[in-house]
């Protein structure tokens, strides 16, 4: 049985904020999936709003650190994927509204 549910992992990752737009990665819709096995190994699948993001590695690192702060976590793998391509419809309504896209 998994130590943490997807929702619990998303909650931990929601502490990571994109400093350019000012929203956390989860409400931006950038975190596609997060799974944890019964030994505490976590795999996060995420994307970025653009391939040219200069904070690519840094954001990956922050996500890793945010999950590692949870108790009994053994190893965290963060994979950045480009399919499906992120777009604003993936973001929460509050983000869309704040950006003027709602």
Partner 1 sequence: MSPISQEFAPPFKLIAPFFILGAIFYLVASLFLFAFDASSLSFLNPLVISFVHIFLLGFVMMTIFGAMAQLVPVVLEVGHFGVELFYAIWPLLLVGTLLMAGGFLYSSALLPYGGVVVLISMMIFVGEIFLTIKKVEKFNVVMSSVLLSNTFLFFGIIFGLVMALGYAGTIAVDVTALLKAHVYLVVGGYITITIMGLSVVLLPMFGLSHGFSLKSLHIALYMMSFAVVSVVLASLFDWSVLSYIGYVVSIVSLFIYFYQVYIIYKTRARKENDIYAKSLFFAYISLVVSLLMGVLYLVSEDESLLLASLFLLFFGFIGFAITGHVYKIIPFLVWFERFSPLVGKEKVPMLVDMLPVKSSSAQFIFTSIGVVLITIAILLGNSQLIGAGASFLSVGAVALLRSVLYMINYK
Residues that bind partner 1 (CB under 8 A): 15, 17, 19-22, 49-58, 60-62, 65-66, 69, 85-88, 91, 96, 99-101
* Least distance CB 47 / partner 1 (angstroms): 12
Q: Write the CA distances from 80 to 2, 48, 75, integer angstroms.
A: 22, 8, 17
* Least distance CB 79 / partner 1 (angstroms): 15
Q: Which is nearer to partner 1, 35 or 99 (CB)?
A: 99
Return d(Cα 57, Cα 73) in angstroms, integer: 21
Q: Which is nearer to partner 1, 1 or 52 (CB)?
A: 52
**Buried (b) or exposed (e) across 29-57, using 16+ Cβ within 10 A?**
bbbbebebeeebebbbebbbbeeeeeeee
Q: Which is nearer to partner 1, 27 or 49 (CB)?
A: 49
């Amino acid at each position: 049985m998994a130590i943490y549910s997807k929702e619990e992992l998303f909650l931990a990752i929601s502490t990571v904020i994109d400093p350019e737009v000012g929203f956390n990665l989860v409400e931006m819709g950038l975190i596609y999936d997060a799974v944890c096995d019964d030994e505490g190994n976590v795999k996060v699948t995420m994307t970025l709003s653009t391939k040219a993001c200069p904070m690519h590695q840094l954001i990956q690192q922050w996500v890793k650190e945010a999950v590692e702060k949870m108790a009994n976590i053994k190893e965290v793998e963060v994979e950045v994927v480009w399919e499906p391509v992120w777009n604003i419809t993936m973001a929460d309504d509050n983000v869309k509204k704040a950006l003027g896209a709602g």
